[in-house]
Amino acid sequence: MNESSLREVEKRTYMSYHQDGLIDIFVGVYVLLFGLGILFSTVTSFSTWFVIPAIFPAVMVPIWMSVKKRITMPRIGYVKIGSRGVNKLMAIFIGLMVAGLGAFMVLTFASRSQAWALTLRNLIIPNGMIIMGIGAVIISALFAYTMGLKRLYAYGLLTLVLFFTGHYIIIPFAYLLVIIAFVIIINGSVLLMRFIRKYPLAPGDKANVEEPL
C-alpha cells in the first residue's frame, strides 16, 4: 500500500462522487452566466454584469449541496472528502486566481506611468483569448489528473480549440463562452440521467437510514 495506490483510491472516490454530472451542470451554468453577462453588457451597456457571476457561488453552492443530498446521497451514499488532493489543488487554484487578478490590476495601474507595463499590457490584451485558452487547458488538466475525471481534459481541450479559433477568425468571446457552457451542461445532464438510471431508488428509500453495526 504505497502513496500511488492511495491516490488511485482517492481518484476512484472523486470519480464516484462526481459521476452524477451535477458539478458539470453547475459549472456550465456559471460559464453561461459569464457569457450572457458579457453579451448583455455589449447590447445594453450594462457595465455591472459581473456582479451576477460574482455572487453566483454564494447562491449556488448551497443549492448544489442540497441537490447532492437529494439525488446523490440516497443512491450512492455520502462522503466528506477532507483536505487531501483536490482540496489542496482548489486552494492553490483560488490563490493563483487572486494573485493573477492582483497582478493584472497592478499591471493596469502601472501601465499608466511605466513604459514596460504598457508594453506588457499591449502584449497580453490582444492575445487574451490564447492566454485564457492555454490557462483553461492547464487548469482542466490539473483537476482532471487529480480527480481522475477524464471529461475535464475534453472540456479544457474544447476551450483551447474554441479560443484559438475565436482569436484567429474573430468570434466574440461571449459567444464562445455560451457554446462551452452548453456543451458542459448537456454532458452533465446526460451523466445525471445515466446516474439516475444506474442507481434507481426503491420506493421509500432514504439517505443512509441507520445501518446495522
Partner 1 sequence: MSKNPSNLRNIDRLIHEPARLMIMTQLYVVESADFLFLQNQLQMTPGNLSSHLSKLEEAGYVEIVKEFIERKPHTALKLTKTGRDAFKEYQQNLKRIFANLPE
**In whole angstroms, how far apart are CA 139 and each of 10, 66, 96?**
19, 27, 11
Of 58-77, binders to partner 1 (CB under 8 A) are 69, 73, 76-77
CB-based contact 27:61 (threshold 8 Å): no
45 three-class SS: coil
- Number of residues in contact with partner 1, rule: CB under 8 A? 29
197 interacts with partner 1 by CB under 8 A: no
13 interacts with partner 1 by CB under 8 A: yes
Q: How far is the CB of 100 from partner 1 (least distance, A)?
A: 30
52 interacts with partner 1 by CB under 8 A: no
Pick the binder of partner 1 from 61, 81, 103, 123 (CB under 8 A).
Answer: 81
**Cα 140 from Cα 151, distance rounded (Å):** 9
78 interacts with partner 1 by CB under 8 A: yes
Pick between residue 13 and residue 140 the one whose CB is nearest to partner 1.
Answer: 13
Q: How far is the CB of 73 from partner 1 (least distance, A)?
A: 8
| CA angle (148, 151, 157) in 5-degree steps | 115
Burial class (CB in 10 A: 0-12, 13-18, 19+), 177: buried
CB-based contact 184:162 (threshold 8 Å): no
H or E stretch at 123: helix 115-124
Segment contacting partner 1 by CB under 8 A, of 45-53, 111-119, 149-157, 201-209: 201-209
CB-based contact 142:98 (threshold 8 Å): no
CB-based contact 117:110 (threshold 8 Å): yes
Q: How far is the CB of 7 from partner 1 (least distance, A)?
A: 8
Segment contacting partner 1 by CB under 8 A, of 25-33, 41-49, 127-135, 205-213: 205-213
Contact positions vs partner 1 (CB under 8 A): 1-2, 5-6, 9-10, 12-13, 16, 69, 73, 76-85, 206-213
